[in-house]
Amino acid sequence: MKRQQFLQQCGFTCLGILGLGALAESCTTSRHLQMPINGHNQLQVPLSAFIAEKKDSTQYKRYLVVSNERLNYPIVIYRESAADYTALLLRCSHQYNELNVAGALLTCPAHGSEFNTKGEVVQGPADAPLRVFPVKVEEKSLLIDLA
């Protein structure tokens, strides 16, 4: 095989892998939304970010994954109702690996720990809950207290 053929073949293979990876990611995880941190060390998330696009009625996303460049880990916010939200740091309490969000289950790819939407351990080896942030609903935003 000539060098040019080899490079072309590698390029197509890489594009194929990247394409499959993007497809797989879109099926299993949600995108991280970048959100600002205000002067009170609160992550500000507009409530409108939970609105799912539907023609006939307003639907709400069950959860959002948000991040900010100042945070070492993303945060998942579960919406229970218009006034009830839970914000959890996506850092495994076992050895601090970043967690994956699989709907109502947070899973650790390192050693298999699992957590529920309240941050409680469902399966070890982790034996401590996740960090939970206080959340306040204020007008059109959620304020997640990072202190």
Residue with smaller CB distance to ligand FES, 35 or 92: 92
Give the count of residues interacting with ligand FES (CB under 6 A): 11
Q: For residues 66 and 43, is the Cβ–Cβ distance under 8 A?
A: yes
Binding string to ligand FES for residues 62 to 101, with x set by CB under 6 A, is what? ------------------------------x-xx-x----
Q: Buried b / exposed e across 103-130, counting CB within 10 Å, b at 16+?
A: eeebbbeeeebbbbbebebeeeebeeeb
Q: Does 129 bind ligand FES (CB under 6 A)?
A: no
Among 40, 61, 70, 111, binds ligand FES (CB under 6 A): 111
Q: Where are the beta strands (DSSP E) in the chain?
A: 32-34, 42-46, 51-52, 59-60, 63-67, 75-81, 84-89, 100-102, 105-107, 114-115, 121-123, 132-133, 135-138, 141-145
Residue with smaller CB distance to ligand FES, 87 or 121: 121
Q: Does 110 bind ligand FES (CB under 6 A)?
A: yes
Among 108, 142, 143, 144, binds ligand FES (CB under 6 A): 108
Residue with smaller CB distance to ligand FES, 43 or 108: 108
Residue bearing tokens 């994954």: 65
| In the complex, least distance from residue 131 CB atom to ligand FES, rounded to whole angstroms | 14
Q: Does 32 bind ligand FES (CB under 6 A)?
A: no
Q: For residues 88 and 132, is the Cβ–Cβ distance under 8 A?
A: yes
Count other C-beta atoms under 10 Å from residue 21's C-beta.
10
Interface contacts to ligand FES, rule CB under 6 A: 92, 94-95, 97, 108, 110-113, 125-126
